[in-house]
Each structure stands twice: as structure tokens, then as C-alpha cells.
Amino acid sequence: MTEISTNPGTLPAGPDIKPKLSRDDILMRGSMIVIALYLVATLVLPLYTMLSKSFSTYRMELSQYEFQVSDESGNFDGTIQSAETLNEQTGAFSDTDLATGSDGRLSVTALFPNFSFRSPVMYQIRNTSDTGRFLVGSTLQDGTDWVTLDSNEFRRVQLRPVQSRGLDNFVNYFSTPALFNSVKNSLWISVLSTIVTVTLAFWFAYALNRSCMRFKGVFRLIAMAPILVPSLLPGIALVYLFGNQGMIKELLFGASIYGPIGIVIGSVFFTFPHAFLIISTALAISDARLYEAAASLRSTPWRTFWTVTVPGARYGLISAAFVVFNLVITDFGLPKVIGGQFNVLAVDIYKQVIGQQNFEMGAVVSVVLVIPAILAFTIDRMVQSKQVALLSARSVPYQPTPNRKTDRIFLAYCCLIGLFIVGLLAVCQFAALIKFWPYDLSLSLKNYDFNKMDGGGWGSYVNSIKLALLTAAIGTSVVFFGAYLVEKSNGFRTGRAIFQMFAMLPMAIPGMVLGLSYIFFFNNPSNPLNGIYGTMAILVICTVTHFYTVSHLTAVTALKQMDREFESVSSSLKQPTMKLFARVTVPVCLPAVLDISIYLFVNAMTTVSAVVFLYSPKTTLASIAVLNMDDAGDIAPAAAMGMMIFYTNAAARIVHLIASKGILKRTQAWRSR
Amino acid sequence: MKHTASYFAALAVGALTATAAVSETELTVYTAVEAEDLARYAETFNQSNPDIKINWVRDSTGIITAKLLAERDNPQADVVWGLAATSLLLLKSEGMLEPYAPAGVEELDVKFVDGDNPPAWVGMDAWVASVCYNTVEAEKAGLKPPTSWKDLTDPMYKDQVIMPNPNSSGTGFLDVSSWLQMFGEDGGWEYMDALHDNIARYTHSGSKPCKLAAAGEIPIGVSFAFRGAKSKADGAPLEIIVPSEGVGWDMEATAIVAGTANLEAAQKLVDFTVTKEANEMYNTGYAVVAYPGVAKPVEHFPEGLLDAMIDNDFEFAANNRAAILKEWQSRYDGKSEAK
């Protein structure tokens, strides 16, 4: 799941050849524009709509209302007072009182200091313009005629806000401690999880690459397991382990698992494979001559470790840290399940949108969440671009030498990590099979009767598989073809640069933000694409876009390994590029194509954050069902469904493995002579 | 000639059947009713109205409300059947509901009918707040069962109570709004300040506190009665407590969406929703229904629940909702992690 850093900027510039545009070139540029437009429609425009939504505010426009007050016997003398002047006289409402949300209401009696609901005084109220709206009780009045009310009815008058634009939402956000606190919470929880995960993953990868311990293959497999489950599954396992009825809650010494502790432990679980993969790649290759030099200079192993090993892996460590940081800060499922009262940004978006239907505030929190995510992503990219090759042609690959003592220590360490990962999964499976924890410990399959629970039943499981297959098929085609065009077409530099930028953008956009922006963009009746809202199509599009970047980078890396001369040869043989693409490029890059498709499949099965805003009653998903069943308190069925996702993904991986072996044997025979 | 006659007769029959097929009206009905009940509801309705087909759009209360509000200028729904009255009041205040007095509405308990004439919405059934009390865990922790809301502020219950967050749960909001109505504005907030000290955490959904109490995760969960009865039926060691001051409630209700192209069919559907037959149908899931005398007791339902239901002021709840939620958030959401 990692990407290998590629930067076209450091490649030596090739000779400047400017051939005439052939039909092939036009076709390729046309296709590239089509895919770029796809990215614009599914990423750039929705994000823009969301950004503009965050500036959409609601205000009480007092100048829109006029009043008349009668005397005690109910006669009006014709004096008309505007609400604005009344407010200036009485000072009843401050400016912040007037800034409100879409469902804001303002009672007007405060404008009349002498008001009493028992008094015989009559009131008249009207809107001065068509945009004015007020309620009497819950009946909407939007006309400009006078409405006459007695005092008792007049206290039921509520003004309604009008829409305008401005920074009010942001001011409101940063002046509400309940909301603003989440920024702090999100940041420190992400930093802590990053430090813990990267440290643990580093030693795990070190053991697997630099020691001679046994069972390396098994540990490699175990380390990858968390990728196959939704991020909220470890949360459920932790509830069973450390909750108030937990199996080993004593280990927490009275601390509550619901909160930062739970989020950090769960985050370590689900980000571990990502960190491990990146660091492991960095540690896999090393120049043995450096270690020989260190040894001949009589450096202690400790010193060698800090001066040779760590610097050699620094780019991997930095990259792993940023990837983990981004995963944790944008994750929504885990804090939702185990966060308790500990508010984080991603959950705030959900609460604002689903709980309060306050879409504007949801957009504001999204903008706030995007900032650290984009920062982390950009810094990582900048650092990676400085990376230079460590391994030259003269390097001697480092081979670890057996050392009984350290190998044993490493084995013990890996067993601990393995136990942590397998343990959490086993707990979920165990919980899923128990009839009624903790009162009835008999085994039963009752928790698999999903049709009796919230979340869409077995239908959602079927939907998830459909989504995963469609995402894998469509996503792989679009991504690989797009990468081919951008990598192999001639000229058109600006277009290609813009395309590259669009392709990198999804990585920096948190799923919650993407999903919310899709609501704003697609659920708008005037949008011609409105029809796909609530269908499987929007889920596929959203998932493909969400996971576009890593797939794109994998494809680009594979394509870079193919010399551009293939294109030159084919054009000199007067063969259409598309034929070359189908007959040569795709078969040669088949390993990468298969990797992309399994990556998309697995992520489509486990994703929660983006699709949580987009599923409809007909397209409920298994991962969302886990969330909703947990939300409704059906924790054991949630664990059961989570494990179904795990088994499905594991099966998909095995099928992928077998299929790739078979296909590769046929298509990649040329690689070994 | 005879042949021609029969030919024409056949044609006429064909045309008739064709019109019959065409005259089947389709209604788009938005609902928050549990998915498992929908097929049954449609089936019962079709027994008396076979020519109207219902296309359900179902989701949770919050999402359906948001969807309806978002579609304000371009309504997709014909009828809303089974949505919280508080939500329907929001729609009413946007002028989105078509007032209609269904045939037989006068039979219903007046509590369940909108005060306007003709009413903008009519109620179906009520869900009522209650406290789920796990007897086994409470005994372990040495707790005495509470009998009133005020009891729950006793320091004995510190960190032993879970309630839904009103910002995300309709059940949570009906609790808060009922306390504000029963104890007054100041008294209500004072009560919640005291209760907050005893709350272990707030959940997102309204049924979770009771399920957590059922699972022994916490001894006391503030939830709704029907959820408690269900968990008790599943074998959880629960007692469902009706606090003595009275309990908040909300109802599921029905309304016609203004601007529907199928007004006649929509009215037929709403006529059906207030019949005795329909109310008997609601009774399988809800112990309290709008049609007096219909409700049969639901198993494990606490006694005296009907009498404990407060005289709920839905207009107060709807018009003060935004302000109440903001106040609640600033009081309890912000300082919660400091605990």
C-alpha cells in the first residue's frame, strides 16, 4: 500500500523533439482531458462547493420587519417601528445574537420592554420585503401584509434568518470552545499515535529485515492483517477487552478505555501495516560497505545504529510518520466507537451534519481538518523529493548475520506485536459468537442474523462486495489508463502537470471532507449529475476518487520502468498507440495492475468515512453497517460484520495471489530467461 | 356483424384494463419507521387501497429531516409517514406541509393532532423516555434503584449513568426538552449541571444507552421505554424505571408535502393512517398510539407510563431547539474531556 516516491523533476531532461501532432497524440490528449475532467467533476468542483458552503451564513435581518403597537383598547395610531430601530433603542440583541444557523429563530418580545402576554395591547407585524420570513407558532408568514396578533399570540412570533455570505461561521467556530477544543485533541492524539506506531513498526521492520530470526513470513502476513478490516473494528475489540465488562480491564488500573487511550491503541492497530510497509522498504536495502567501515572504525553497534541504520532509513521514517499522522487525524470510525467524550475533528463533522443537520458548520470543520492533512502531505512530498539513491552500482547488499541472543529478543518482540494484532481480531471473532456477553456465554450464531438489526442486514454485505468489485474494475481502468496517458504522451507539458496535481490531490483530502462535499455538489437539483445521488454509482465514483492517488503512483512507478522507446518503435512501425497499450504496456505492467485492483477492492470493503454521507437505504454497506450497529448498541453483531469484511478481504487477497501467479506465469515469462 | 361487435367488446375490455393499469398511482413516501415494519405497513394499506403503490425512502430521523429540508424548493416526497413530530414542525415552519384533516381525525387523542385547523400533521404513536436499570450490575456497585429524575443526581450514581447526546439523538433532545419544561428554564439547566457530574459519557444514538445497560457496560442508561422492553425480552437483567416527575416523549406523525402532484392519493394514504386498523398495526411496535382504546399492552412495558407522559409543548421544543442545543453544547460538550 505504499508508494514509491517518483519525481519527474529530477529526471534528466530528454532531447527536445517536437513532432507534428498525430492522430494518436490527439486521441491521447483527448483521453487525458476526459480523465482530467472526471477528476474535476468528482474532486475539484465538490471541494469548491464545500468551501463556498462554509462561507454561507444565516443572519437575522432586523431591517426586514416592521411593527405597530396598539393602545390598551386595541387602537393602532399608525406609528410604524422597524425592528432595527427598536433594537438600537433597547439593545436587546447583540451582533452575535443575530448571527445564527439555518434553523435559527429569534423571539421578538425582547424588543418591547413593556411586553406582557397578559396585556390587552395588540401588535401588528409585517415583512418589508419578499425575503422576510417569520413564524407565528410554527406557521410561516412570508407575505408583506400586516399580521395582527394579541399579546399572547405575539410572544409566539419567531423571526427567521436570511442567507448571506461571510466569515461568521468561522468566527462562531473559533469562539465555541466545545468545537475549537477538537483541533487540539485531534492534533495531540495524532502526534502520540504517530510516535508510538512508527517506533513499534520500526523495530518490527528491523527485526524482519536485519535479523536472522525465524518465521519472518508469518510475521509479515500478520503485520498486514489490519489493512483488511475497517478502522473501527479494533475499537470494538477494545470495548470487549477493556470496557466496564472487559475481559482484562484490570490492566488499565481503573482508567477508562473510552477516550484518548482507546483511540491511540486502536490507531496503532490500524495504522501499523502502513508504517511497517514503508519502513520495511526503507530498511530492505542497505549498503554492507557502510557497516564494514563502521566495524573497522570500531564503532559500537549502538553508534552504528544511530549513524548508519537510522540515517539510511530516514526518508522511510519521515514518510511513515506523515502517513500515520494523516490516517489518524482523518479517521472517523475509531473515535466514533471508542472516543467517548473525547471530541475529534472527524467526528465533529459527522455530529454537525448527521446529528444537527448543520451543513454549514460541517463544512467549516471540514476546512479546518483539511489544513493539517494538506500540510502533512505537502511536507512529506517535499522531503521525499530530496531523497537520493543510497544504493549505487558498487554497493554490496547488506546481509544480516545470525546472532542467537538478539534474534531471540527480536522473535519475542515480534511475537508480542503479533499477539496484539491477532489478539484483537480473535477477540472480535469470539465476541461475535457469544450469545449475550457477559450474561450468557453460550456460543450462538444469533449475532449473524443481520437482517434483524439496523444497518441493512445481509443486503449491505452484498452491496459492499458489489461496490468493491466495481471500484476495482472501474478504478483500475481509469487510474491505469490515466497514468499511462500522463506518463507516455508527448509534449503537452502544462496539461500533464495539471493532471499530476489533480491525481495527487485526493491523498490530501480526508474521506469525511470528500463525502460531505459530494452531498453539497451532487445533491443539488440544478446539478445535471444530480441523478447519481443515492445510487451505487456515486459510491463507486467517491471511492475511486478517494483512493486515486496511491493507485496512480503505483501505476506511474510501473510505467516509468518501461522505456519510452516502446512508443517510438511502435510509431515508427506505424502501429496505433492504443494497440501498443493493449498488447504491450498492460501485459508488461500486469503485476502493478493487479496490485491496484486488490488495493481498491480492499479499501472499498473497509472504507467508512467518505461513504457514510452518501449511502442510501438501497445501498447500505457492510462497513457502514458495522458503524450503525455499534451506534445502536448492537456491538456483537457489529463485530460479526467486521469479521465478515476481514474474511472477505483475506479471501480476495488469496484469490489475487493465485490469480497473479497464474497470469504472471503466462505474461511475465520474458522477465526470466 | 357479430364478429365486429365482439371485436369492439374485446377492444373495450382491453382499453379498460389498460386504464386500470395506468391509473395505479405511485406515492413517494419518506419515513423513519424501522425498515422491518415498512413492508407490513404497505401491505395493510394496499388491502384497502390496491391502486396506490408506495415507494419508500427510509432513513434515520435526522437524515430524512435533513433530506426534506434540503429539497425544500424541489420536493421529491408526496407524503411523510412516520417522522418525529418535532421534525414535522420544522417542515411546517418552512411552509412545506399541506394542511389536511383526514377523515376520522376527530377520533384521535387531541394530543396527537396538530393544533391548526386543518391540521398540518397527525400523529401515529409515541415513544416515551425511560430509564433502563441493570439490576445485576447495580447490585454489584451497591446502588439503589432511582425513582425520579432528581434521584439520578445523587453522588452515589457518579459515572454510572449514560444518556444520549441531544445534539445527535432525538431521544436525547426529548429528555432535555422535557426537563426544561418540567423544571423550568433555570431549574432544568441546574438539574442537567448536577446530572452531568454523574454521566459517564454521552452516546450518539438514543437506543445505545439502554443496550449498554442491558450488556452491563453501565448500570443506568437513559433511553426510551420500547428499547428497554425489547432488551428485557432478550433476557437482559433490566428494570425499566419511569421517573416520578414525568417523562418526555415524541411521536411519529404523518403529513402531506405541499406541492405534491398526487394530492388525491396522498390524502387517501393519510386517511388510512388515522384509522383504527392502522393504529392496531402501529401497536406491535409502540405501546402508545394515537387512537384511544386500541393499544394492547406490550410485553415488559413499564406500568404507568401513559400517565407519566408530560404535556409536551412541541412548539416550544421546535422553536427553541437551536438555542437549547447550543447552550447544551457549550455547557457539557466543551468541558467533557476535562473529566
Task: Tell me, yes or no, whether A369 lies in a domain.
Answer: yes
Enter the C-alpha cell of residue B297.
399492552
Q: Could you tell me which chain B residue has the CA closest to the CA of A437?
A: B215
How far is Cα of residue B113 from the mean position of the Cα atoms in its chain? 14
For residues A633 and B210, is the Cβ–Cβ distance under 8 A? yes
The nearest CA of chain A is from the CA of B93 a distance in Å of: 5
Question: pTM for this one?
Answer: 0.87
Number of A/B CB contacts below 8 angstroms equals 145
Q: Which residues in chain B are closer than 8 Å to A256, comparing Cβ atoms?
A: 200
Task: Name which of A100, A244, A356 is nearest B167 (Cβ-Cβ).
Answer: A356
Residue B269 identity (one-letter amino acid): L
Let me know whether A389 and A525 are in one domain.
no
Mean of pLDDT values over A167-179: 87
Report yes or no: A481 and A556 within 8 Å, Cβ to Cβ: no
H or E element, residue A139: strand A139-141
A534, three cell numbers: 443515492
pLDDT greater than 60 at residue B5: no
Q: Using a CB-CB distance cutoff of 8 angstroms, which residues of chain B are in contact with residue A632? A: 205, 207-208, 211
B104–chain A Cβ distance below 8 A for any pair: no
8 Å CB contact of B330 and A178: yes
Q: What is the pLDDT of residues A311-321, one digit of tens each?
A: 888 889 999 99
Q: Is the pLDDT of residue A222 over 90?
A: yes
A15 lies in the same domain as A133: no
Q: What pLDDT, on the 0 to 100 scale, is given for residue B23? A: 57
Contact at CB, A100 and B165, closer than 8 angstroms: no
- Is A53 at the interface with chain B, CB within 8 A? no
- Cβ pair A610, A511 in contact under 8 A: yes
Phi, psi of B30 (to 5 degrees): -90, 140
Residues A371 and A420 in one domain: yes
* pLDDT (0 to 100) of residue A395: 80
Closest partner residue to B211 (CB to CB) among A139, A456, A633 is A633
Cβ of B62 under 8 Å from any chain A Cβ?
yes
pLDDT band at A425 (very low <50, low <70, confident <90, very high): very high
What CATH number is attached to the domain comprising A606? Answer: 1.10.3720.10
Per-residue confidence band for A17, with pLDDT thresholds at 50, 70 and 90: low
Min distance A103 CA to chain B CA atoms (Å) = 7
Reported as a single tens digit per residue, the pLDDT across B280-327 is: 999 887 888 999 988 888 788 888 888 899 999 998 998 898 889 889
With beta carbons under 8 A apart, name residues in chain B contacting A353.
66
> How long is chain A?
673
Which pLDDT band, with edges at 50, 70 and 90, does A7 fall under?
Answer: low
The alpha carbon of residue B106 is apart from the nearest alpha carbon of chain A, in Å, by: 22
CB within 8 A of A581, min separation 6: which ones? A481, A484
Check if B2-126+250-298 and B127-249+307-338 are the same fold.
yes
CB-based contact B204 A355, cutoff 8 Å: yes
Choose from A163, A341, A437 for mutation: most chain B CBs within 10 A: A341
- Please indicate, yes or no, whether residues A155 and A231 belong to a single structural domain of this protein: no
Q: How much of chain B exceeds pLDDT 70, in percent?
A: 91
Q: Count CA atoms within 13 Å of residue B112 on its CB side.
A: 24
B98 vs A2, residue with greater confidence: B98
Q: What is the pLDDT of residues B73-131, one digit of tens each?
A: 778 899 999 999 988 998 998 899 999 999 999 999 998 999 888 999 999 999 899 99
Cα B111 from Cα B305, distance rounded (Å): 15
Residues A255 and A352 in one domain: yes
pLDDT score at A659: 87
pLDDT tier at B19, thresholds 50, 70, 90: very low
Residue A63 sits in the same domain as residue A26: no
Q: Which CATH number fits domain B2-126+250-298: 3.40.190.10, 3.40.50.2300, 3.30.470.20, 3.30.530.20?
A: 3.40.190.10
Q: Which residues contact B93 (CB under 8 A, 6 or more apart)?
A: A135, A138, A139, A140, A160, B318, B319
* Candidates A341, A440, A632; nearest CB to B211: A632
What DSSP element (H or E) covers A560? Answer: helix A548-560
pLDDT above 60 for A86 = yes
Cα B150 to Cα A243, A647, B192: the distances in Å are 28, 49, 10
Q: Is A618 on the interface with B (CB under 8 A)?
A: no
- Considering only CB atoms, B337 lies closest to which of A107, A343, A436, namely A343
Task: Pick the last residue of a domain from A385, A410, A440.
Answer: A440
State which H helix or E strand residue B250 sits in: strand B249-257
Instruction: Check A140 against B215: CB less than 8 A apart.
Output: no
* Reported confidence tier of residue B227, pLDDT bands at 50, 70, 90: confident
C-alpha to C-alpha distance for B205 and B207, rounded to whole angstroms: 6
> Would the ipTM clear 0.95, i.e. be above it?
no
Across A40-44, A95-99, A345-349, least confident range: A95-99
d(CA A625, CA A402) in angstroms, rounded, equals 48
Domain that holds residue A96: 59-163
- Confidence check: pLDDT of A519 > 50: yes
**Contact between chains at B59 and A617 (C-beta distance less than 8 A):** yes
Among B120, B167, B200, select the one facing A355 at the smallest CB separation: B167
> Residue B132: what pLDDT?
96
pLDDT of amino acid A20: 67
Residues of B in contact with A105 (CB under 8 A): 319-320, 322-323
Give CA angle at A282 (A198, A194), nearest 5°: 15
Find out whether A600 and A547 touch, Cβ atoms under 8 Å. yes
Ranges of each domain in chain B: 2-126+250-298, 127-249+307-338
Closest-approach residue (CA) in chain A for B218: A244
Same structural domain, A561 and A663 = yes
Cβ neighbours of A471 (radius 10 Å): 25
pLDDT tens per residue, range B188-199: 999 999 999 999
Least confident of A18-27, A201-210, A468-477: A18-27
Domain boundary among A410, A440, A470: A440
pLDDT score of B164: 93
Closest CA to A615 of A601, A603, A631, A627: A627
B284 touching chain A per CB within 8 A: no
A103, part of any domain: yes
Predicted confidence at residue B73, as pLDDT, reads 79
Pick the residue with more confidence: A491 or A109? Answer: A109
Q: Are A133 and A266 part of one and the same domain?
A: no
pLDDT at B17: 44
Residues 437-456 of A with CB under 8 A from B: 437-440, 451-452, 456
Q: What is the pLDDT of residues B148-207, one digit of tens each?
A: 999 999 999 999 999 999 988 888 999 999 999 999 999 999 999 999 999 999 998 888
Mean pLDDT of chain A: 89
The pLDDT of residue A457: 86
Residue A14, pLDDT above cutoff 90: no
Residue B15 — pLDDT band, cuts 50, 70, 90? Answer: very low
Yes or no, beta carbons of A343 and B93 under 8 Å apart: no
Does the pLDDT value for residue B141 go beyond 70?
yes
Do the Cβ atoms of A537 and A75 come closer than 8 Å? Answer: no
User: pLDDT tens digits for A565-576?
Assistant: 888 888 888 888
CA dist., res. B86 & res. B234, Å (int): 31
The confidence score (pLDDT) of residue A9 equals: 55
User: Does any domain span residue A474?
Assistant: yes
Contact B334 A177 (CB under 8 A): yes
pLDDT of residue A650: 96
Q: Which residue in A473, A483, A624 sits closest to A551, CA to CA?
A: A483
Contact assessment for residue A383 and residue A519, using Cβ atoms and an 8 Å cutoff: no
> Touching check for A436 and chain B: CB below 8 Å?
yes
Q: Considering Cα of B12, then B15, then B20, then B23, what sign does the dihedral take?
A: negative
Q: Is the pLDDT of residue A668 over 80?
A: no
A436 in the same domain as A455: no
pLDDT for the residue A477:
95
Q: Which residue of A has its CA nearest to B116?
A: A139
**Phi, then psi, of B227 in degrees rounded to 5:** -60, -45
The answer to the question of residue A173 being in a domain is no
With bands split at pLDDT 50, 70 and 90, how would you rate the model's confidence at B335? very low
Residue A1's pLDDT band, with cuts at 50, 70 and 90, is: very low
Q: Testing the interface with A: which of B83, B89, B93 to mutate, by most A Cβ within 10 A?
A: B93
- Residue B60 scores a pLDDT above 90: no
* Predicted confidence (pLDDT) per residue in A614-637, tens digit: 988 788 899 999 998 998 888 999
pLDDT attached to residue A391: 67
The average pLDDT across A633-642 equals 93
Selected residues 162-221 of chain B with any CB under 8 Å from a CB in chain A: 165, 167-169, 200-205, 207-212, 214-218
Closest residue in A to B172 (Cα) is A355
pLDDT digits (tens, 9 = 90+) for A133-152: 899 988 888 889 999 999 98
Percent of chain A at pLDDT exceeding 70: 96
Residue A8's pLDDT is 53
Chain B nearest CA to A355, separation (Å): 4
- Same-domain status, A282 and A309: yes
Mean pLDDT of A272-285: 92
Nearest to A341 among B60, B201, B211 (CB): B201
CA distance A190 to chain B (A): 16
Among A256, A259, A439, the residue with its CB nearest the CB of B237 is: A439
* For residues A528-554, average pLDDT: 93
Q: Which residues of B fall within a CB distance of 8 Å from A181?
A: 334, 337
The share of chain A scoring above pLDDT 90, in percent, equals 53
Q: Does the beta carbon of A9 lie under 8 angstroms from any beta carbon of chain B? A: no
Selected residues 140-159 of chain A with any CB under 8 Å from a CB in chain B: 140, 142, 156, 158
Residues of A with Cβ-Cβ distance to B236 under 8 angstroms: 436, 439
Check: CATH 3.40.50.300 for B127-249+307-338?
no
Say whether pLDDT at A370 is over 90.
Answer: yes
Shortest Cα distance, chain B CAs vs residue A351, angstroms: 6
One domain, residues A244 and A354: yes
Give B-chain residues touching A140 at CB under 8 angstroms.
Answer: 92-95
Q: Does residue A294 sit in the same domain as residue A328?
A: yes
Judging by beta carbons within 10 Å of its beta carbon (0-12, 13-18, 19+), is residue B91 exposed, middle or buried?
A: buried
Q: How many domains does chain A have?
A: 3
Q: How far is B89 from chain A (nearest CA, A)?
A: 6
